[in-house]
Amino acid sequence: MKITKICCIGAGYVGGPTMSVIASQCPEIQVTVVDISKVRIDLWNHSDLDKLPVYEPGLKELVSKTRGKNLFFSTEIDKAIDEAEMIFISVNTPTKTYGKGKGQAADLKNIELCARNIAKVAKTNKIVVEKSTLPVRTAGAIKSILDNTGNGVDFEILSNPEFLAEGTAIDDLLNADRVLIGGAETPEGQIAKDALSSIYEHWLPKEKVLQTNVWSSELSKLVANAFLAQRVSSINSISALCEKTDANVAEVSRAIGYDSRIGAKFLNSSVGFGGSCFQKDILNLVYIAQSYGLQEVADYWEQVIIMNDYQKRRFAENIVTTLYNTVSGKKIVFYGWAFKKDTNDTRESAAIYVADALLDEKAEIVIYDPKVPESQVYADLDYLGTRLPEENRRLLKVVNDPIKASNDAHAIAILTEWDEFKTYDWKAIYEKMLKPAFVFDGRRLLEKDTMTAIGFEYYKIGQS
Ligand SMILES: NC(=O)c1ccc[n+]([C@@H]2O[C@H](COP(=O)([O-])OP(=O)(O)OC[C@H]3O[C@@H](n4cnc5c(N)ncnc54)[C@H](O)[C@@H]3O)[C@@H](O)[C@H]2O)c1
């Protein structure tokens, strides 16, 4: 089966980059990305490519090459569904904030709305691809909605979870370790899986496209994120021990990473993982395990989240104790607000929680991030609901000049590993700060010897 038109519902951090890569690699396929958010679609169509709603290295170049040729961004959802043979669902599936499973289960409201919309509009057979991360067995629910509310046409449901990491999304998509396609083990299911495989085979070797049953595919995505986050929490737990024992977490990581059974990747200690996925997907895994009565399995994975919360809290508490047990009225500058470098995404960023803890102690916080606008910083803090929005704006400011921000600061905290922070004139920054001048490096970005030689009181996570 040859696909000529694709529709992708959801123009976010996954839908936008993924479809830009498909459009660039498959010029004969027309790709339309749709979204309910007009604001987001207008930004995707903005003539100034620096205004795209998602910042990813290499993304604007792909968009500029394909937009208006075979890549389109639109709010005309029904039209795009109607025309496409293959529909990707790439909408957000956040943790539920209400009702049964509140705080753990994935909220599938958006997914169900998409399924109902596809059922209503489709007048020809469609392949529906789950690109969003979903609990195992969601494909069954989607199939049931489509078959029971549709216009009598046939739907094949595929699970094709996305493994890209923000900040390296384009490279991850172009050079994927593997692509996973799950589908029904029937002749029709096989045709659908092969149709989707053939898209990826435009740029990836066939052996990198793995086909499985639909349930294995859905579950594998949750498990992949759980294993990755588990490594971060494992090394972060050791960072706390290193600080007490004069061991150095970087040396421990290196020593264990040389063991080929362990491997060197994902062993960097930090202030804690953030992002929209790790926490949400583990909580979802915990919820699924609990709902099948597997309490020990649930408890095991929940510990990954508990350790991550501990690491963020530990970092904030260390700032308070080091600054003579009070930060009230003290100016603390944050370098970085995004959850990692090379993205403008702030969802679940460690910086939000560290700021919240310090604001509780009445610190005066100044934020600088090269890609995150002021409105987003305030939105993140207001969302927590810890204090009134006016109070957040009174105690916390967002600035565009990182060097000027250090004027009369008591401390600088590095919350995101942006490369530019390494290039700053730290001596000049030191001169501007109050003494003793403290730097709390939550990303292990700077060299301890250099910083102490300048005169800083320098704290690096995982090192005494
Ligand atoms: N962000 C990542 O790094 C990443 C990586 C792998 C997988 N995922 C998964 O991919 C999915 C999407 O994540 P994201 O980060 O792109 O989310 P996002 O919030 O950036 O984008 C989702 C978009 O879907 C739109 N949307 C929601 N409901 C809609 C509807 N009914 N009709 C049309 N549009 C609708 C929203 O307006 C939004 O623009 C999630 O399930 C996530 O877990 C994310």
Give residue-wise pLDDT tens across range 242-266. Answer: 999 999 999 999 999 999 999 999 9
Which residue in the list 126, 131, 221, 341 is annotated as catalytic?
A: 221
- Residue 127 forms beta bridges with which residues? 86, 156
Q: Which residue has its alpha carbon closest to ligand 1 atom 13?
A: 92
Assess whether pLDDT exceeds 90 at residue 239. yes
392 touches ligand 1 (CB under 6 Å): no
Ligand 1 atom closest to the Cα of residue 281 is: 43
Q: What is the predicted pLDDT for the residue at 464?
A: 85
Beta-bridge partners for 441: 414, 460
All residues at 6 or more sequence positions from 289 whose CB lies less than 8 Å from its CB, including other chains: 295, 297, 298, 301
Per-residue pLDDT band at 150 (split at 50, 70, 90): confident
Q: What is the reported pLDDT for 307?
A: 98
From ligand 1's centre to the CA of 54, what distance in Å? 12
Closest CA to 238 of 258, 260, 259, 257: 257
Measured by CA distance, the residue closest to atom 41 of ligand 1 is 132
Residue 282 CB less than 6 A away from ligand 1: no
Residue 179: phi and psi, rounded to 5, are -120, 135
- Rounded CA separation 451/437 (Å): 10
- Out of 7, 59, 92, mutate this one to test ligand 1's pocket (max ligand atoms within 8 Å of CB): namely 92
Cα–Cα distance measured from residue 388 to residue 408, given in angstroms and rounded to the nearest whole number: 27
Render pLDDT for 329-364 as a digit per residue (tens, 0 to 9).
Answer: 999 999 999 999 999 999 999 999 999 999 999 999
Q: Which amino acid is at 369?
A: D
Q: What is the predicted pLDDT for the residue at 349?
A: 98
417 given a catalytic annotation: no
Specify burial of residue 434 (Cβ count, 10 A radius: 0-12, 13-18, 19+): middle
Q: What is the mean pLDDT of residues 82-98?
A: 97
- CA–CA dist 31, 8 (Å, integer): 8
Of all atoms in ligand 1, which is nearest to the CA of residue 131? Answer: 10
Nearest 5°: phi and psi at 413? Answer: -120, 130
Find tokens 């004027």 and name the residue: 407
What strand order describes the sheet that includes 457-460? Answer: 396-398, 364-368, 331-335, 411-414, 438-441, 457-460
Tell me, yes or no, if 277 is annotated catalytic.
Answer: yes
277: CA distance to ligand 1 center in Å? 11
Q: Does residue 277's CB lie within 6 angstroms of at least one atom of ligand 1?
A: yes
Ligand 1 touching residue 74 (CB < 6 A): no
Q: In this structure, which amino acid lies at residue 34? A: V
pLDDT above 90 for 323: yes
The answer to whether the CB of 177 falls within 8 A of the CB of 163 is yes
pTM of the model: 0.95
CB atoms within 10 A of CB 456: 24
**Mean pLDDT within 78-89:** 98
Residues 205-223, mean pLDDT to the nearest whole number: 96
Mean per-residue pLDDT, 104-130? 96
User: Whose C-alpha lies nearest to ligand 1, atom 34?
Assistant: 35
pLDDT of residue 250: 97
pLDDT(1) > 90: no
- Number of neighbours of residue 121 by Cβ within 10 angstroms: 18
- Name the catalytic one among 8, 26, 242, 277: 277
Question: Diameter of the chain by CA atoms?
Answer: 74
- Which whole number is the average pLDDT over 415-435? 98
Q: Is 221 known to be catalytic? A: yes
DSSP 334: E
Give dist(CA 222, CA 234) in Å, integer: 18
Output the pLDDT for position 456: 98
Please indicate whether residue 133, judged by its CB atom, sits closer than 6 Å to ligand 1.
yes
Burial letters for 5-23: b for 16+ Cβ neighbours within 10 Å, e otherwise? bbbbbbbbbbbbbbbbbbb
